[in-house]
Structure 1
Amino acid sequence: MCGGVEARQADKVWRIYFPNPKAAIPVQLKGSGQLDWIHWGRRKEEPGSSPHGGWARLGTVKAGGWDRYKPCRGFGMVERFMEKEGRLGDKNRPSHWFDVPQGYALECLIIGEGEQRRVYVVTTDPPEEYAWIHDRWPLLAELKTT
């Protein structure tokens, strides 16, 4: 379900983990060359009206379940993502890091404005060879160069 990401900014590599209330992801908005660090999701203890969590199931997005938030498409410009093995609440869950292929990014939804702006990573079924790790996987989007 992508519990962490690794991003690079100049010579600095950042490891960002969703549980951190200051977690943000570098996101490029569709149709824009601008890169913004956007707060990743919303934790249960955080105020606001955006959904709890940091992920959006692709099936729910396609069914219109996110339409009321008027999301914009974005691309999480990260080099790697982390999946935790097993279910939330399991103890000693091993972490597995996966490279994002060159020319790809995490498919994301951006909702809200100003300080309330949030990014949610779109998830889908895992590749068959990784289904044993987790039942949700970040959706990768190919970055088009024109």
Structure 2
Amino acid sequence: MCGGVYFQHGEDVLRIFYPNPKAVLPVLTSEGTIKLIAWGRRQKQPGNLPMTGWARLDSIYAGRWDKYFPTPVKIPVLSFMEKDLEGISHWYDLQKGQYIQGLLAKEGNERRVYVVTIEPELEDAQIHSRWPRVVQKGEKSRHFIT
């Protein structure tokens, strides 16, 4: 379910894990810059946005996120971490020009980004129940493309 990411921000290379209440994700802006935005919301954190770090693609299409004015964004990371069914962490590298798709949700002044997840490919389904959606550089990010 993408429990951690590894990315470069300026001169720093950061490893961020979702359980950390200060976790942020890098988001590629329309101007081509990187902005760090809070990764989801955890229990006991203030706010009104959903308490999770992920958004299922089918729930986005079903309209469950509409009240949060969802905007698709690209999350530029070098790699992401998934835990297998036995709880063992595995890191997966992205190729140049690939991004994790994110959903930027808004309510009032609150802004948080959620990792968009999909059902894994058949061979990966034995290991992971959900997989982050990876998009290519040229894909439009204005829509949650099927």
Q: TM-score, normalised by structure 2?
A: 0.88
Aligned ranges for residues 65-76 of structure 1 at < 5 Å?
Answer: 65-76=64-75
Q: C-alpha distance in 1, partners of 2:39/2:27? A: 10
Equivalent in the alignment of 1:144:
138
Paired residue type of 2:55: A
Percent identity for Structure 1 against Structure 2: 45
Supply the AA of the counterpart residue of 2:66: D
Please tell me whether the aligned partners of residues 109 and 120 of structure 1 are also in contact (alpha carbons under 8 angstroms).
Answer: yes
Paired residue for 2:54?
Answer: 55
SS of the residue 1:78 aligns to: coil
- Secondary structure of 1:117's counterpart equals strand
| C-alpha separation in 1, matches of 2:31 and 2:98 | 16
Structure 2 spans left out of the alignment, 5+ residues: 140-146
> Which one-letter code corresponds to 1:104 in the other structure?
Q
Match of 2:2 in 1: 2
Specify every segment of 5 or more residues in structure 1 that has no aligned partner in the other structure, as ranges: 87-91
User: Match of 1:53, SS?
Assistant: coil
**Residue type of the partner of 1:37?**
L
Size of the aligned set, in residue pairs, is 139
8 Å contact 1:83–1:133 — kept in the other structure? no
Shift of 1:82: 0.4
Q: Is the 8 A contact 2:26 2:77 kept in 1?
A: yes
- How far is 1:113 from its partner? 6.4
Deviation at 1:19, TM superposition (A): 0.1
Q: SS in structure 2 opposite 1:60?
A: helix
Counterpart for residue 88 of structure 2:
94
User: Against the structure 1 CA distance between its residues 4 and 51, is the aligned structure 2 distance closer, same or farther, given a 3 Å change threshold?
Assistant: same
Aligned to 2:114: 120
What is the Cα deviation at residue 130 of structure 1?
1.8
Off by >4 Å, runs of 4+ in structure 1: none
One-letter amino acid of the structure 2 residue matched with residue 55 of structure 1: W
CA RMSD of aligned residues (A): 1.8
Does the 8 Å contact 2:103/2:115 carry over to 1? yes
